[in-house]
Each structure stands twice: as structure tokens, then as C-alpha cells.
Amino acid sequence: MDDSTDFLVPLLPPFTALLGRAADAQARGDRAAHDLWLAAAAHLHGADPASLASLTAALVARQRTADAIALADLGVRLHPNAAARFNLGYALQMAGRHADAVAPYRAALATEPDLPSLRNNLAIALRLSGGDRAEEAALLEEAVTFDPRDVQAWINLVTARLAAQDLTGALACAERLVVLAPDNALAMNNVALAMKEAQRWDDAERYAARACELAPGDASHRFNLAIVHLVRGDYAAGWREHEARWDGSGELRGRLPALPGPRWRGEPLAGKTLLVWGEQGMGDVLQFCRFIAPLAERVHREGGRLAWNTFPQMGALMQRSLGAHADAFGAGGGVDALPPFDYEVPLISLPLMLGTGDATLASSVPYLRADPRARAMRGARASRVKHGRRWGSCGRAARGTSAIRSGGSESSATWTHSAGSTASRSIRCSRARRPTSPPRARPVCRSPITLPS
């Protein structure tokens, strides 16, 4: 058949069954049976290495990764060469099985190290499976040495050098990408992130905007541009673009809860109940609960009711500090325990909906209230402690790339997004030191196709 996609649904099971018989016969040393079964399979679809690799890519493109892995594994059994092992590693990687992809990639590297994209893909498999970052960087360095025009390797080398706190090296990669791939959205995205780490804010914004222009449907690029805008104090653009976080942030993607009501987009609230709910982590609640008071003022001015649900661990503090502003307050309990409501809005969307900026942030402080009894007990204990002095660092080197950033003049407090935790991301006050969403890495196949990891 000329079009392998026509083949996928009805004939794939018998084709793989025949390939399996051929592989079994080959393992037994029965050459005649092997040739017979392979010839039978070839009547359905090409069974040579190139045809199997092409069919594997087609299956991956259709998100039939289990079938792609099974086919690629048969390819290795029938044709145990570097190309077949690369194909298996690629199929495993596209299924998110990065640790499993390492072994076939290593086997291919041992016999044919200059196979296109092999070093790049192995490097990314190591990164995404918690492997040796030094080996990852070395593989990418070898890749760009072997092929100085390997755009994917340069893109990933930006990330590797940032992870190694080599800002100078990361900027060199970025400058190379600007020349080599000015129309590649992923390249421009990672260039922007390198510029951000160097606090070259004009460059960071320009290249982040270019990435969005080249790939307007990519939420991760919009999210990173949002972070740059927020760092620079452009709240109007930043909070608007920050709505892309549910698809653009790797930690949030696919985690937007399905609530039984529409999102509030600014509709009149007379006679309506608006539910505001805490998203992401407890640090985000601590930062953004300050917007509950101005939200409540608007809701009540329009004749509506405000319901607020937060994390159970924060319930006592939130109720003590700001609970009086809400008509209904709850902590935890899940979707089924929520009070009836007409509209809902996540907590971190409040700055966008309220149009808040520096003035609101300054006027809202202080907004948290400690438990008086706990404060008194702590004061009593502290009075019995003998004080001394200790010199030391505050852990800057432990915060990943923060230690590599050059000292800039833009150090006043503002709002930006933290990528310091994979469990929860929080908005924190620091213009010059907080990272955005990490630079993205992608394995590639030997064809021009670039698929997301």
C-alpha cells in the first residue's frame, strides 16, 4: 500500500503477528521459516528497516504509542542494527517512557554514534528520567560539534548549560540559535529564557514575543511571555497572558478542575453567587488571598454573594484573616462539598479580573493575622532563648539557576511565577531572581518531524 495510514487500522494486527513469527524463526536459526514469514508480512506492508521506521512514526503521530513500541521492538529483533534501536528508543520516548528509552539509545550509540539525532534524544531521555546531567551536556556538546547546524541540539544545550549554571555558555547557544533558527518558535522560546536569566529584559521580551508570533497556539510560549511581562511590571499584558498557565505550565497542564458552573468573565453579579477557589499550592494562597477583600467589595456592590473555598491546611488562617469578607467560607472537601454558585473564578485570576497593579498591592498590606494565643506562646518561648550570631549563606546555590544570574538594577519587588517546586508553583515577590517555566526539550526523529516529549 502506498499510504501507510490506510493500513493502520485493519491490517496492523496480522502484520505484526507475521513479523513476530519471522522474528521467532530467526531466533531459532530457522532461516527458511524466517524468510517465509517475512515475505508473507511484506505482502501487507514493507518489512524492511526503513518501512518499519516510517510506520512507527505514523503510529506515533496517531498517538498509538503502544502499537509503535511493539512494532519497533519487532524491528530490533528482525534487524538488530543502530537504526532499529534508535527507532525503538524514539517510540518509547514518545510514550513518555524516557528511562526505558535509554538502553536502546545507548546500544545504538555504541555501534553508530553519529546517527542523526541520536545524541540529542539520548540526552533528553537522560534528563527526563533523572539521569546524569553531566553526561546529558556532554552528549549535546558532541551533537553540535558533529553537526553545527543541529537546531534541536542547540535548543536543548541552552537548557543543559543553564542547569550547569553556565550562563555565558547558555547565552552563546542563544546567540547561535538567533542566527541559525530565527523562525523556530521553540528556539526563540529558549533564547528568551536565557536572556531572562541574564536579566536582559528587552531581549527576553522580544524573543518571547517572537516565539508566540511563530506558534500562536502554543500555550507554553504565551505563559513564558506572561512571566516576562509580570517581571517587568506590565500587569495588563502579564495577567492576561497568565491565563495560559493551565495549558502552558507543565505542572498545571491537565489539572484544571471541572466545576459545575461557568467561569466568571466579568458578568454582572446582582443576585448571583461567585465562587473563588484556591489553586496550585499554599504559597499561592498566601500571596493571592489579598485580593479577596477588593473582590468582595465589588461583588457586594453589585448585589451578589461571595463564596470562598481554600485548602484545609490554610482554613484557620484564611478565615481568621479574611473570612469575614466572604458570605460563605469553606476549606477543602472536594467539588461535591462546594456551596451552590452561579460563577467560579480561580484565585490567581483575580488580579486580571479586578485590574489590579502596584497601588492595590501596596494598599492591601498587611492582610494576614496571626493567632494571638499562638503569638503570645511563641513570644514567651523566644524570651527564654539565648541569642548569638552565625554567619553563612542563605542557600542561593541550592536554588538551581538563581546563582548564575548577573546582578541587575531591577531588584524592586514585583509579581512573578516561581518554578522552584514541581509539587506547587507560587507567585513570589522578586523581580530579578525567580525563574519561569523551564526551557523545553524535545527528542526528534531523523526526519524533519519534531514531536513533543
Give domain limits for the chain: 1-131, 134-250, 273-362
Cell 505514523 belongs to residue: 58
Task: State the Cα–Cα distance between residues 74 and 434, nearest whole angstrom.
Answer: 47
What pLDDT does residue 321 have? 87
**Which tens digit of pLDDT belongs to each residue from 243-285?**
999 999 888 888 888 899 999 999 999 999 999 998 888 888 8
Residue 166 buriedness (CB in 10 A; 0-12 / 13-18 / 19+): middle
What is the H or E stretch that residue 329 is in? strand 328-331
**pLDDT score of 378:** 73
The whole-number pLDDT of residue 404 equals 38
Amino acid at 368: L
Give pLDDT, residue 308: 93
Hey, what CATH topology would domain 134-250 get? 1.25.40
Q: How confident is the model at residue 407 (pLDDT cuts 50, 70, 90)?
A: very low
Q: What average pLDDT does this structure show over 441-452?
A: 37
- Over residues 381-402, the mean pLDDT reads 47
427 has pLDDT over 80: no
Question: What's the CA gap between 31 and 26, in Å, rounded?
Answer: 6
* Integer Cα distance of 437 and 72 in angstroms: 33
Minimum mean pLDDT among 79-88, 90-99, 292-301, 373-382: which range? 373-382
CATH superfamily of 1-131: Tetratricopeptide repeat domain (1.25.40.10)
- pLDDT tens readout for residues 346-371: 999 999 999 876 555 655 668 887 87
Rounded to the nearest integer, the mean pLDDT of the chain is 83
Q: What is the pLDDT of residue 358?
A: 58
DSSP assignments along 164-205, one per residue: TT-HHHHHHHHHHHHHH-TT-HHHHHHHHHHHHHTT-HHHHH
For 157-183, what is each residue's pLDDT tens digit?
A: 999 999 999 999 999 999 999 999 999
For 402-439, give the DSSP string.
Answer: GGG----S--S--EEE--S-SS---EEE-TTT---SPP
Q: Which residues 6+ apart lie within 8 Å of 180 measured at CB?
A: 149, 151, 154, 187
Averaged pLDDT, 318-345: 90
Q: Which residues contact 110 (CB under 8 A, 6 or more apart)?
A: none
C-alpha cell at 25: 524463526
| pLDDT band (50, 70, 90) for residue 405 | very low
Over residues 179-211, the pLDDT tens digits come to 999 999 999 999 999 999 999 999 999 999 999
pLDDT exceeds cutoff 70 at 88: yes
Whether the per-residue pLDDT at 406 is higher than 60: the answer is no
pLDDT reported for residue 386:
58
CA distance 243 to 259: 17
pLDDT score, position 252: 87
* Cα–chain center distance at 279: 17
What pLDDT is stored for residue 382 in this prediction?
Answer: 66
Closest CA to 452 of 256, 218, 254, 242: 218
Instruction: Work out the average pLDDT over 439-451.
Output: 40
The owner of cell 524492511 is: 48
Enumerate the β-bridge partners of residue 331.
310
Average pLDDT over residues 126-139: 95
pLDDT at position 270: 97
Percent of the chain topping pLDDT 90: 65
pLDDT tens for each residue of 210-242: 999 999 999 999 999 999 999 999 999 999 999
**298-307 average pLDDT score:** 97
Sign of torsion, CA 440 441 442 446? positive
Per-residue pLDDT, 6? 61
Label the pairing between strands 427-429 and 415-417.
antiparallel
For residue 383, name the pLDDT band (cuts at 50, 70, 90): low
Do domains 1-131 and 134-250 share one topology? The answer is yes
Locate 348 and state its grid cell.
490567581
